[in-house]
């Protein structure tokens, strides 16, 4: 299984405390890890940091959904384009 890697990049936040693209991708991955590998649209839309910039978070979602070890389910409503993203994280052991 190919591991999901965090995106390296600029660490400073942009004006107004908004997350950068890299921080947004990493936050989605971290939240999915905390939830056993799957994050839902409701989780993302409820997150204060991720919901600040719908376009940026949607772009990050599209990028992650295109990964070879990510299964996605498209959403019919809400601003985030996926009902869920499920990551194939490598297992320890």
Residue 23 is predicted with a pLDDT of 97
Record the pTM. 0.79
Tens of pLDDT, residue by residue over 32-53, are 999 999 999 999 999 999 999 9
Is residue 78 within 8 A of residue 57, CB to CB? The reply is no
| DSSP per-residue letters across 22-47 | HHHHHHHHHHHHHTTTEEEHHHHHH-
**Domains along the chain?**
18-87 (1.10.10)
Distance CA 42, CA 2 (A): 27
Q: pLDDT per residue over 71-86, tens digit each?
A: 999 999 999 999 999 9
């Amino acid at each position: 299984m190919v591991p999901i890697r965090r995106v390296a990049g600029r660490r400073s936040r942009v004006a107004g405390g908004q997350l950068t693209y890299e921080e947004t991708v990493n936050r989605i991955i971290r939240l999915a890890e905390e939830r056993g590998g799957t994050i839902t649209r409701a989780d993302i839309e409820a997150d204060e940091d991720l919901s600040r910039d719908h376009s940026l978070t949607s772009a990050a979602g599209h990028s992650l959904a295109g990964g070879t070890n990510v299964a996605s389910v498209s959403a019919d409503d809400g601003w985030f384009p996926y009902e869920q993203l499920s990551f194939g994280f490598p297992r320890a052991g």
